[in-house]
Structure 1
Amino acid sequence: MTATLSTEAAAARIAPYIRRTPLLRAEADGRPVVFKLEHLQRTGSFKLRGALNSLLTGPRPERIVTASGGNHGIAVATAAAILGLPATVFVPTTVPEGKARRIEEAGARLIRAGDRYADAAAAAHEAADVPGARYVEAYNDPTVIAGQGTVAAEIVEDAPDVDAIAVAVGGGGLVAGTALGSGGRLTVAVEPERCACLHEAIEAGHPVDAEVNSVAASALGATRVGEAPFAVLSSHNVESVLVSEAELLAARDRLWEEFRLAVEPAAAVPFAAFLAGRVPGALPCILLCGANSDWTP
């Protein structure tokens, strides 16, 4: 498992296909802050990193199957297209139409199954249980975690003075990758109050089922943190923080009004924690993870 958790190997593997997204040094409420503009990544989120690292590791399948609340599906569809592989993406019926459209535009077959991500995942695993097919995990896979960790590795290389990295948490792949790639810096794991599977797992001492009820649920709506990311997080310097719906929406609006950074609600979650004074550090980095929302004038 150690080899598959190498962010250095993952970075070299996926480099030909991704963007090295920029940093923005700024100030908010009198405090210096660094934004990692990962919402400018191809596919509109960090998810392409993990999807590519997964598909570029191990035997080449004949076709790809996955389940997603949206961003992972867009990433897998795009990664499959890059590698010339057919892909099928199962989504819950609650998937935002903009994300569903982008999955199909990337060339994948889209199938709606159930009202929750867990329902779509169950249907996708069944469909992938045939010769030649491969299921690509959204977060509970060491190769996916390592791919996501390349974001933090870039932050550390480009801003070594950053002393904490704040990141939104869904199933745990990005936050676990951040812990791996942060060079020992504090990882601040931020979740909405009613969409907090990692926070509840930490309290219980192991992954448990959690409520999913947030405007950010299409990106952060895992009912249970993955076993693989939880194992990583249990042995790294991680602090769990919660924010309210009002705080995350206000943070999203402020990112646009003050910095002209247009992100989806999930990406504003760590900035909400920063604004509320819940992100420590002399120079924290706020990882803006995605921008797959439809904006209307």
Structure 2
Amino acid sequence: MATLHKIALVPTPVVTIDDIRIAATRVQPSIVRTPTLLSRTLSEMTGATVYLKFENLQFTAAYKERGALNKLLQLDEEARSRGVVAASAGNHAQGVAYHGRRLGIPVTIVMPKSTPTVKVQQTESHGATVILFGERFDDAYAHAREVEAERGLTFVHPFDDPHIIAGQGTVALEMLADAPEIDCLVIPIGGGGLISGCATVAKASDPAIEVIGVQAELYPSMFNRISGEHRPIGGDTLAEGIAVNEPGALTSAIVRDKVDKIVLVSERQMERAVALLLQIEKTVVEGAGAAGLAALLSHPERFRGKTVGIVLCGGNIDTRLLANVLLRDLARSGRLARLRIRLQDRPGALFNVARIFDQEGVNILELSHQRIFTNLPAKGLSLDVECETRNQAHLDRLISELRAAAYEVSPVELA
């Protein structure tokens, strides 16, 4: 009697390296092949050899257009003529809108009502029809699926789609072609499309390449799913591009299989990373785009001695927010400070304080007296001085001189 042998069924990968190579050929004529460059200064700072992939130099300033274009190019003529719909408040919207117009495909984008006007205008400038619906992304997403069904449109998912994942994976193909010595990729995670594609490329190229995912501490959705933890999700994060409540099903499976570790980074470290990239590399990134560098700053021992590839995945940051980040970084480094000084309310008091600032070569930017809303005696006042110094040591010397002159002084600290 013949012996029956059980044959183990190996699940077919959702996305393969060949899918990503074909996607690269498909999208290459219409996207920017962004540079992968060594950062000598960041390498010295972190103890790792740091390569940066400048995806903020895409036309829409984000990698998202790679996946969007790969998806749109595979629609048949009937689907193209009907049009597509997507839900997004940011980079995915612009990527779909921009390439949709190029290809003559009608695009509808559903955005939450809270979306900043500038993002709505940018999306409309690419020829898309914008529908504002709901207060949260989840509301906009649900409405986009209703529009899809009602109008017979094709839904372009921001991350949980094999064509999107394959398109995003072309980022890693280019990085490893330009810097084959990279042995560790550090990739931001929101829904998981970018890291799924990049991890597929990395592990197919060399299984020894480490793939490290990065999430904001306030939005550890993929971290929770993979680790089984239940950390709270929500809050105002600088990295709104990766502020996702629920990661994708397809992407979660790929991350579980191919990503070595997920680390979490604080708001403060992302602010620092945004400022450093502008100061050192002279490049503007959004919070999500700085998450990879923030991981190196937060966990230097994890990456020391490695050759690390970081994706600067986007550069769409509000200019006022960027200004705030840069000023806060100056304050944390001691180059900008606000000092609260207790004075007696009498002639010459301000002059005597200002003389010490002059002697120490400190520039006074702004003064604010408080006589009424204070717990000081009626003849006392509180003086806030915003000033500019060379560094922390210079600021410390100023404070020492003020205290030596018998002034009660305290820095107003940042959160």
Q: Above 0.5 in TM-score?
A: yes
Candidates 116, 137, 141, aligned match of 1:121: 141
- Structure 1 residue corresponding to 2:52, chosen from 35, 58, 62: 35
Larger radius of gyration: 2
Shift of 1:99: 2.2
Which of residues 215, 220, 223 in structure 2 aligns to 1:191? 215
Percent of aligned pairs with the same residue? 34
Give the secondary-structure state (helix, strand or coil) at the position aligned to 2:241: helix
Segments of 4+ in structure 1 off by > 6 A?
Answer: none
Tell me whether 1:160 sits opposite 2:177 in the alignment: no
Matches of 2:181 and 2:315 in 1, distance apart? 26
- Residue of structure 2 aligned with 1:134, choices 136, 147, 154: 154
1:1-297 paired onto structure 2 within 5 Å = 2=13, 5=16, 6-27=19-40, 28=42, 29=45, 30-60=47-77, 61=79, 62-130=82-150, 132-182=152-202, 183=205, 184=207, 185-204=209-228, 211-277=233-299, 279-280=302-303, 282-295=306-319
Q: Secondary structure at the match of 1:241?
A: strand
Aligned-partner SS, 1:123: helix
Bigger relative contact order, structure 1 or 2 (CA pairs below 8 A, ≥6 apart): 1
Note the alpha carbon deviations across 1:70-93, whole angstroms, 9 max, x for none. 110000101211110111101122
Structure 1 residue identity aligned to 2:212: V
Point out the more displaced range, 140-149 or 107-116: 107-116
Q: How many Å apart are 1:9 and its aligned residue?
A: 0.9
Residues 146, 179 of structure 1: alpha-carbon distance in 2 compared, 3 angstrom cutoff:
same
- TM-score, normalized by length of structure 2? 0.68
State the distance in 2 between where 1:220 and 1:12 align.
27
Q: Structure 1 pair 96/270, CA: closer, same or farther in 2 (3 Å)?
A: farther
Amino acid at match of 2:39: A
Q: Kindly provide the amino acid, as one letter, of the partner of residue 197 in structure 2.
A: G
Cα distance change on mapping 1:68 and 1:165 into 2, 3 Å:
same
Residues 35, 250 of structure 1: CA spacing in aligned structure 2 closer, same or farther, 3 A cutoff?
Answer: same
CA distance in 2: counterparts of 1:246 and 1:47, whole angstroms: 25
Alignment-mate amino acid for residue 172 of structure 2 = A
Report the Cα offset of residue 217 of structure 1: 4.8
SS in 2 for 1:25: strand
**Secondary structure, in 3 states, of the residue corresponding to 1:44?**
coil
Q: Is the 8 A contact 1:70 1:96 kept in 2?
A: no
Structure 2 distance, partners of 1:195, 1:41, is 26
Deviations along 1:136-157, one digit per CA (max 9) or x if unpaired, are: 0000101100100000111011
Greater shift, 123-132 or 254-263, is seen at: 123-132
- Work out whether residues 179 and 238 of structure 1, in 8 Å CA contact, stay in contact via their aligned partners in 2: no
For 1:156, give the aligned amino acid: L
- Equivalent residue letter for 2:279: E
Give the letter for the 2:34 counterpart.
Answer: T
Structure 1: which amino acid aligns with 2:283? L
- Segments of 5+ residues of structure 1 without an aligned counterpart are none
Secondary structure, aligned partner of 1:122: helix
Instruction: Please report how far the alpha carbon of residue 31 of structure 1 lies from its aligned counterpart in structure 2 after TM superposition.
Output: 3.4
SS of the equivalent of 2:257 reads: coil
CA–CA distance in structure 1, aligned partners of residues 14 and 143 of structure 2 = 30
Kept in 2, the 8 Å contact 1:140–1:171? The answer is yes
Letter in 1 for 2:55: E
Task: State the TM-score, normalizing by the size of structure 1.
Answer: 0.93
3-state SS of the aligned residue for 1:130? helix
Q: CA deviation at 1:235?
A: 1.4
Deviations 1:95-120, CA, capped at 9 Å, x for gaps: 23332221111110111112221111
Q: Is the 8 A contact 2:14 2:162 kept in 1?
A: no
Deviations along 1:203-223, one digit per CA (max 9) or x if unpaired, are 229xx8962324235311221
> How far did 1:45 drift?
0.3
Q: In 2, distance between residues paired with 1:217 and 1:274? A: 16
Check 1:3–1:227 CA distance in 2 against 1; reply closer, same or farther (3 A cut): closer
